[in-house]
Amino acid sequence: MSETLERWSTRRAFILAVTGAAVGLGNIWRFPYMTGENGGSAFLLLYVAFVLLLGLPVMMAEILIGRAGRRSPMQALAHLAGQAGATPHWRWLGLFGVTTVFLILSFYSVVSGWSIEYFIESVNGNFVGQTPEEIGASFNAFLADPLRMTFNHTLFLLLTLSVVAAGVSGGLEKLNNLLMPLLYLLLLVLAGYAVTTDGFGAAVAWLFTPNPAAITVSVVLNAMGHAFFTLAVGACALMAYGAYMPDHQSLPKAVAAVAVLDVTVALLAGIAIFSVVFSQGMDPGEGPGLMFVTLPIAFAELPGGAWWLAIFFLLLLLATWTSSINLAEPIVATLQGAGLRRGRATALVGVAVWAVGMLSVLSFSAMADVHWFGEMTFFDLVTTVPTDIFLPVGGLLIAIFAAWVMPRDTVVRALDAGPRGFRAWQATVRFVSIPLVVIVLVSGLL
Ligand code: PHE
Ligand code: NA
């Protein structure tokens, strides 16, 4: 255990680590395609509301549990429950979180593998001079090729686990912090380019004109799940990072900074991608392939496009890398808590995640006609249920534990926002966040 219990050296290091976990595929890949499938502005509005009312307060709850417990998630929960005179069964919440991040990591690695493929193809100049139709067709051809997909999935998993095995993410975090601003800059350039396209007006109207008619129960459920996913909340993954937090640092300030950045990145990606969609007359509801088709089209029209595209995918990979490390960390920490050495634990996680990820790889070829639930392939299922159901359920239990079970003094200290900050947080979690998750989950499941 002590092996994993380092401390972030500075307050800034903590914020940057949480930002690294937050900003990833959720912002640049998932946000645009979910918005496209869920009625545009209706989804955007709900997602922002859920970030404020649920994401932020529950994120604080999750991190403060880790900070107060200073152990791996399962052990922290058991320890704190004991302190409060509550049942040690709370530790199963940690295991539930681990199951959730395990499933998320399995497809995260596959989709990040798509970015590796697209990085290499961009370096080779493969998209130069292609029509939007050709770019779309080559994405479908790639999906239908399990060998190429397996190769990239394997490579990405190895990249992730080699950092996790080393135990210290120092090197990667440094690289991340150095290079992420460049990704934001590229997104700004892309959004700037988007302003000049014919589709920009339509994209902005579609994203920002209120459209309450598009709000359905499933849109609400999807938006709630996405708010948890994009902030990396609800799976006890940030709990593991909270355990390494310094003693004096205001939690609300730290998480607010992360949320602002996370939403900004998603908005920039959305504006860039939907401007291309509307200028090319494409379908915004195209699904998970959206980013992989629109971005090559957009960059193809910019001077030096092939290089910019390559740099973009490289930076995106870096962003997904720091997120996947956060996904893997609680799984490895839990196995370590069960007595395994870090190297063994990492190898075991690697094999298991790889195998389950293969079901996603094959969902586009050999297993395309295998339906796991309704019409859903394994990939459809694993990209929705853990995010839309498991994360909110985990977040709900985390919120109940922090706001109703933990002793007041422990929470006040771990939140580090003074007595008034504590009261505001507690009232929000008790009377807004918890009822809201319950209402959305119950109506979504019925
Ligand atoms: N927040 C990450 C993203 O937006 C995904 C993630 C979810 C990471 C849960 C860690 C835990 O891509
Ligand atoms: Na995110």
Ligand 2 midpoint to CA 232 (Å): 7
Please report where in the chains the tokens 């990405």 appear, as a residue: 156
Strand partners, 376: 373
Contacts with 372 (C-beta within 8 Å, 6 or more apart), sequence order = 378, 380, 381
Nearest residue by C-alpha to atom 6 in ligand 1: 232
Q: Atom 9, ligand 1: which residue's CA is nearest?
A: 232
Instruction: Give the residue from 261, 235, 224 showing the smallest Cα distance to 328.
Output: 235
CA 340 to centroid of ligand 2, rounded, Å: 31
Query: Which residue in 25, 26, 20, 24 sits closest to 8, CA to CA?
Result: 20
Q: Which ligand is nearest to the CA of 234?
A: 1
Contacts of 165 (CB under 8 A, 6+ apart): 342, 343, 346, 347
Q: Which ligand 1 atom sits closest to the C-alpha of 319?
A: 12
- Cα dihedral: 429, 431, 436, 442 (round 10): 110
Establish if 134 belongs to a structural domain. yes
In ligand 1, the atom with minimum distance to the C-alpha of 327 is 10
- Output the CA 387–ligand 1 centroid distance in Å: 10
Q: Which atom of ligand 1 is nearest to the CA of 231?
A: 1
Residue nearest to atom 11 of ligand 1 (CA): 232
From the CA of 179, how far away is ligand 1's center (Å)?
19
What string of H, E and C letters represents the secondary structure of the chain?
A: CHHHCCCCCCHHHHHHHHHHHHCCHHHHHHHHHHHHHCCCHHHHHHHHHHHHHHHHHHHHHHHHHHHHHCCCHHHHHHHHHHHCCCCHHHHHHHHHHHHHHHHHHHHHHHHHHHHHHHHHHHHCCCCCCCCHHHHHHHHHHHHCCHHHHHHHHHHHHHHHHHHHHHCCCHHHHHHHHHHHHHHHHHHHHHHHHHHCCCCHHHHHHHHHCCCHHHCCHHHHHHHHHHHHHHHCCCCCHHHHHHCCCCCCCCHHHHHHHHHHHHHHHHHHHHHHHHHHHHHCCCCCCCCCCHHHHHHHHHHHCCCCHHHHHHHHHHHHHHHHHHHHHHHHHHHHHHHHHCCCCHHHHHHHHHHHHHHHHHHHHHCCCCCCCCCCECCECHHHHHHHHHHHHHHHHHHHHHHHHHHHHCCHHHHHHHHCCHHHHHHHHHHHHHHHHHHHHHHHHHHHHC
Among all ligands shown, which has an atom nearest to the Cα of 109?
Answer: 1
Q: Which atom of ligand 1 is nearest to the CA of 26?
A: 4
| Ligand 1, CB cutoff 6 Å, lining residues | 21-22, 24-27, 101, 104, 229-230, 232, 235, 237, 323, 326-327
Length reported for the chain = 446
Return the best residue to mutate from 29, 258, 326 for the ligand 1 pocket (most ligand atoms within 8 A of CB).
Answer: 326
Rounded-to-integer distance, Cα 186 and Cα 314, Å:
12
What is the rounded distance in angstroms from the CA atom of residue 368 to the CA atom of residue 173?
A: 37
**Ligand 1 pocket mutation, candidates 229, 327, 384, 391, criterion most atoms within 8 A of CB:** 229
Full pLDDT tens readout for the chain, 446 residues: 344 456 777 778 888 889 989 999 999 999 999 999 999 999 999 999 999 999 999 999 999 999 999 988 999 999 999 999 999 999 999 999 999 999 999 999 999 999 999 999 999 988 888 899 999 999 999 999 999 999 999 999 999 999 888 875 566 677 777 788 888 898 998 899 889 999 999 999 999 999 999 999 999 999 999 999 999 999 999 998 898 888 889 999 999 999 999 999 999 999 999 999 999 888 999 999 999 999 898 888 777 788 888 988 998 998 999 899 989 988 998 998 889 999 999 999 999 999 999 999 999 999 999 999 999 999 999 999 999 999 999 999 999 999 999 999 999 999 999 999 999 999 999 999 999 999 999 999 88
Q: Which of these, 405, 35, 382, 42, lies nearest to 212 by C-alpha position?
A: 42
CA of 322 to the centre of ligand 1 (A): 9
Distance between Cα 84 and ligand 1 center (Å): 30
Q: Is residue 184 part of a domain?
A: yes
| Residues 6+ away with beta carbon under 8 Å from 137 | none
Position in ligand 1 atom list of the atom nearest CA 262: 4
| Closest-approaching ligand to the CA atom of 322 | 1
Residue 181 Cα to ligand 2 middle (Å)? 15
- Host domain of residue 154: 2-71+111-325+391-445
Half-sphere exposure of 370 (CA within 13 A, CB side): 13
C-alpha of residue 312 to centroid of ligand 2, in Å: 17
Cα 11 to ligand 1 centroid, rounded to whole Å: 21
Cα-to-chain-centroid distance, residue 214: 25
Nearest CA to ligand 1 atom 10: 232
Does residue 136 fall inside a structural domain? yes
CA nearest to 223, candidates 60, 34, 57, 26:
34
CA 202 to chain centre: 28
Q: How far is the CA of 22 from the centre of ligand 1 (A)?
A: 5
If one residue of 18, 28, 100, 230 were mutated to test the ligand 1 pocket, choosing by the most ligand atoms within 8 A of its CB, it would be 230
Q: Judge whether 37 lies within some domain.
A: yes
Which residue type sits at 134? E
CA of 396 to the centre of ligand 2 (A): 19
Query: Is residue 380 domain-resident?
Result: no
Question: Do residues 235 and 394 make contact, with C-beta atoms less than 8 angstroms apart?
Answer: yes
Whether residue 165 lies inside any domain: the answer is yes
Q: In angstroms, how far is CA 372 from the centroid of its own chain?
A: 24
CB under 8 Å to 166, separation ≥6 — which residues?
none
Long-range CB contacts (within 8 A, 24+) of 192-198: 193/272, 193/298, 193/301, 193/302, 194/271, 194/272, 194/275, 194/276, 194/298, 195/275, 197/275, 197/276, 197/279, 198/278, 198/279
Residue 287 lies in a domain: yes
- Residue ID of nearest Cα to ligand 1 atom 7: 232
How many domains does one find in the chain? 1
Measured over the CA atoms of residue 84, residue 87, residue 91 and residue 93, the dihedral's sign is negative
Phi first, then psi: what are they for 289, rounded to 5°?
A: -80, -10
In this structure, is residue 335 part of a structural domain? no
Atom of ligand 1 nearest to the CA of 230: 4
From the alpha carbon of 323, which atom of ligand 1 is closest? 8
